[in-house]
Chain A
């Protein structure tokens, strides 16, 4: 079963997203800051990572870069800002895809599935 590492510091969204993902038959592991995210990414070897960019302790861009240095796990960046160059920053940090809040859940699931197919091919 697919393991998703969900990195999100906002409690509501972490709870909501992890439950919705579980309902779609994904295993979900969570992290609430960038530091935990990097550790879990190497220890738990998730199939894919959903990463909020504005995180405490270590931000999402730094965490993504560190994870990408050590693994080739696909990362989808989640951010609240569409316009301020966050997308470019996320892609530059090695993220594979990008979506903005409010999250379109079906779109997110499609994105996850496409990256998983790409990863396994």
Chain B
């Protein structure tokens, strides 16, 4: 092979080409001519291509054309024309009447494909043998029932320093996967027992195996099934006879992705170990800055119950249950995750703590576990920012073809009991008390797009607020009517820490 490669003037495909010319020649001297001039015309053209091919081969053999790029260009044009005319005649003829032509033409098309395969393999080998290192590395599992296909693939992959494992059925694939760490699977679509697409589904259902990138290999008539494979989680696809450079590029990308995945896993494990303690105590509901503050004050770890003044913020999507009824469950979750994600960020941005998601409702606390003199101000600012963020959420919803939503926000200030509430196994930092119930009642009077704040919050705020007139809410189960205001805007937020007392964050202990 080394020898042939170093003599580009004697390409591997020469014998194929000579055979092809013989067949074209034989075709054009039939014992009896066809009866239709249109066919004779095209046969004449095919014959002309044959003559050109012959002429070309002689030039190549003599070394008249030696530039490999030029040779390839010309050869592929000739093959393309031969296949084209042959298929054209096949389409045009009447199979029964022109029986004598049918098989020889099929044979010519077949020889063209064979010639073309040899030509592209040779090209690939010349690239693989080029001094530029083409190392893929990694362990690649080939799943194909045909030994020849596996051998061709194996040859390319090994030339690129990949470790190659083989399987001929789905069963043997799974047993290889059980024993060896695999970076990439090349999966043939047509297999005995179970086809590639079914195996792909099984792979993607497996928690451990789903991370291994799968490249589906198939004949190019199976486009539909390939699309289904991609949808089912295949990384990429390749058509047979495969283009070696594409194969290399796709495999490299796949192996690379797996490596990143492994690195990411490792990194995540470390991070998890480091944060295990923090998370076990605080869950996900505290903002970064509060966690840091508490960790810096060891006494802050004692989160036993205490009565404290907090500002409670509740947000609700208007008419959520009827929206949810009209959507499939996955879409509902998507809608909610998008909404809750954005809103949690806003709450944390203003130093609040997301205490709970109750369905579509958000319960956020300002003032626990750490209290600040501007808790109610930040809560009010957060409420306005949340309403503004609805534009963003609805833009995303439109993109995702989800319905647009509107939200009401209620804010209330008062005393609550805050602390780790629950059993020994499952406890969570939370708040309970009259103020929480009150906030919920206010929320039920909140129109879409509105912010209602209680009188207590209004009084507690240092910033000057622009509100509507006072309204009275007579809530069931609560004796006194609650006075609330519709918040329009904040006209002049006060400078931070304008009051001298309590300017420092007060960590509970």
Q: Do A and B bind each other?
A: yes
Contacts from A to B (Cβ < 8 Å): 10, 12-13, 15-17, 19-20, 23, 54, 80-84, 100-105, 107, 110
Would you call A110 and B77 a contact (CB within 8 A)? no
Q: Name the 8 nearest CB pairs between A and B, nearest first.
A: A16-B84, A80-B76, A101-B76, A102-B80, A12-B81, A102-B79, A80-B73, A101-B80
> Apart from A12-B81, A20-B84, A81-B72, what 9 extra A-B contacts exist at CB < 8 Å?
A10-B81, A16-B88, A80-B75, A82-B246, A84-B69, A102-B76, A102-B80, A102-B82, A102-B112
CA separation between A16 and B73, bound complex, in Å?
A: 17
Judge whether B16 is part of the interface by a CB distance below 8 angstroms: no
* B88 adjacent to A20 (CB under 8 Å): yes
Chain B residues in contact with chain A, CB under 8 A?
A: 45, 48-49, 52, 69, 72-73, 75-85, 87-88, 91-92, 112, 116, 120, 123-124, 127, 220, 223, 243-246
**With A101-B80, A104-B220 in contact, is A12–B72 under 8 Å at CB?**
no
Contact status of A102 and B83, CB under 8 A, knowing A23-B88, A82-B120, A83-B127:
yes
Which residues in B have their C-beta under 8 angstroms from that of A23?
Answer: 88, 91-92
Tell me whether B88 and A10 are in contact (CB under 8 A). Answer: no
CB distance from A90 to the nearest CB of B (A): 14
**Taking CB as reference atom, which chain A residue is nearest B243?**
A82
Chain A residues with CB below 8 A from B77, complex form: 10, 12-13, 80, 101
For the complex, what is the distance from the CA of A80 to the CA of B80, rounded to whole Å?
A: 9
State the Cβ distance, B208 to closest chain A Cβ, in Å: 35
Is there an interface contact between B45 and A103, defined as CB atoms closer than 8 Å? no
Most buried by A among B73, B112, B220: B73
A81 and B69 in contact (CB under 8 A), knowing A15-B45, A102-B76, A107-B220?
yes
Q: Which residue of A lies closest to B124 (CB)?
A: A83
Closest to A52 in B: B77
Contact between A19 and B76 (Cβ–Cβ < 8 Å)? Answer: no
Nearest A residue (CB) for B245: A83
The listed residue (A19, A82, A103, A107) touching B80 by CB distance below 8 A is: A103
A12-B49, A101-B80 given as contacts; is B223 within 8 A of A82 (CB)?
no
Q: Are A103 and B84 in contact (CB under 8 A)?
A: yes
CA distance A12 to B465 in the complex (A): 81
A12-B48, A81-B72, A102-B112 are contacts. A17–B245 as well, Cβ < 8 Å? no
Q: Determine the chain A residues whose CB is within 8 A of the CB of B49 once the complex forms.
A: 12
Q: How far is it, in angstroms, between the C-alpha of A103 and the C-alpha of B220 when the chains are bound?
A: 13
In Å, the complex CA distance between A10 and B48 comes to 13
CA–CA, A57 and B78, complex, Å? 22
Q: Is the CB of A105 within 8 A of B76?
A: no
Find chain A residues with CB under 8 A from B69 CB. 81, 84
> What's the minimum C-beta distance from A111 to chain B, rounded to whole angstroms?
11
Within 8 Å by CB of B84, from A13, A107, A110, lies: A13
Contact indicator A83/B123 (Cβ below 8 Å): yes
In the complex, chain B residues whose CB is within 8 Å of the CB of A107: 220
Q: With a CB–CB cut-off of 8 A, which chain B residues contact A16?
A: 45, 80-81, 84-85, 88
**A19–B81 CB distance below 8 A:** no
A80 and B81 in contact, given A12-B48, A12-B49, A19-B88 (Cβ under 8 angstroms): no
Query: Which residues on the A side are within 8 Å of B116 (C-beta)?
Result: 102
17 chain-A/chain-B pairs, Cβ below 8 angstroms: A13-B77, A15-B45, A16-B80, A23-B91, A23-B92, A54-B73, A80-B75, A80-B77, A81-B72, A82-B120, A83-B124, A83-B243, A100-B76, A102-B112, A103-B83, A105-B83, A110-B223
Once the chains bind, are A82 and B123 in contact (CB under 8 Å)?
yes
List the B side residues contacting A17 at CB < 8 Å.
Answer: 84
Contacts of A20 in B (CB 8 A): 84, 87-88
Q: Which residue of A lies closest to B123 (CB)?
A: A83
Q: In the complex, A10→B245 CA distance in Å?
A: 26
Q: Taking each of B52, B80, B127, B220, which has the highest tally of chain A beta carbons within 10 Å of its own beta carbon?
A: B80
CA distance A84 to B76 in the complex (A): 15
Closest to A114 in B: B223
Contacts of B82 in A (CB 8 A): 102
Give the residues in chain A near B223, CB-CB below 8 Å.
110
Chain B residue with the shortest CB-CB distance to A11 = B81
Q: Which residue of A lies closest to B223 (CB)?
A: A110
Report Cα–Cα, A20/B48, bound state, in Å: 18
B85 adjacent to A80 (CB under 8 Å): no
Q: Which residue of A lies closest to B220 (CB)?
A: A107
Q: Nearest Cβ distance between residue B108 and chain A, in whole angstroms?
A: 12
Q: Is the CB of A13 within 8 A of B123?
A: no
Most buried by A among B81, B82, B116: B81
Cα separation A54 to B223 with both chains bound (whole Å): 29
How far is it, in angstroms, between the C-alpha of A10 and the C-alpha of B123 when the chains are bound? 22
8 Å CB contact of A13 from B72, B80, B120, B243: B80
Q: Quick check: A12 and B52 within 8 Å, CB to CB?
A: yes
